[in-house]
Structure 1
Amino acid sequence: MRDAADIARIAEALDQAERTRTPMRQLSKSMPDLSLAEAYAIQEHWVQAKCAAGAIVKGHKIGLTSRAMQTLLALMSRITACCWMTCSWSPVPPSRARASSRRNWRWSWPSCCAAR
C-alpha cells in the first residue's frame, strides 16, 4: 500500500486538476496496481481537503445499482460519489448572461468527487 505522503500527493493532484480544469490521466491507467483501499484513502484525503477549503458536501450520488450493470462493467458493488455545492458569486457581464436568466450571478455545481 502507498504511504500517506503518496496518498496526499495524488489527492492534491486531483484537486489541482479540478481547480485548473486540466485533464488528468485516469488513475487506474497511470497506476494499474492501485488498490481499492488506496482509492478510498485518496478520496477521503480529497474530501477533507475540499471541505477545509470551504466546499460543502450536499449529498451522495449512487450509481450502478443494478447487478447487471455491475457485471457488465466488472464491478463488485455499486459506486457512490460526493455531490458538492459551491457557489461562485462572480459577476457575469450582461452580454454573456443567458436570456432566460437576468441575475448577475451564476451557480457552479461540480458534479462529483472520485467514485467511492
Structure 2
Amino acid sequence: MTRITIAGVALTAALSLGLAQAQTVGQDLKDAGHDTAHATKSVAHDTAHGTKVAARDTEHGTKVAAHDTAHGTRVATHKTVRVTKKGAHKTAEGTRTVAHKVEGKPDTHVEEHHDTH
C-alpha cells in the first residue's frame, strides 16, 4: 500500500504541476494581451500628440514665410521704384546735356544712298 500511496502522491504532484503550468501560460498570454493593448494606446496617443505639434509648427512656419515674403516684396518694390526714378532722372539729364551740345551746331544730314537696280 505504501507503493500505491507514493505513486498516488507522485501522480497528484505531476497533475498539479501540469495545471500550474497551464495557469501560468494562460496568465502569460493574458498579460501579453494587456501589454499589447497598453502599448497600442500609448503609440496612438503619442502619434496624435506628434501630429498636433507638427501641424502647429507647420502653421507657424507658413505664417513666418508669408510675412517674410510680403516684406521682401515690399523691399523689392521700393528698390525698383527708386532705381526706375534714378534711371529716368539720368536719362532726362543726359537728354538735356546732348540737346545743349547740339544747339547752335549745323544740321548734319547723312545722305542716304539708294541702290537702283
Which structure features the higher share of strand residues? 1
TM value normalised by structure 1: 0.21
TM value normalised by structure 2: 0.20
Q: Which has the larger radius of gyration?
A: 2
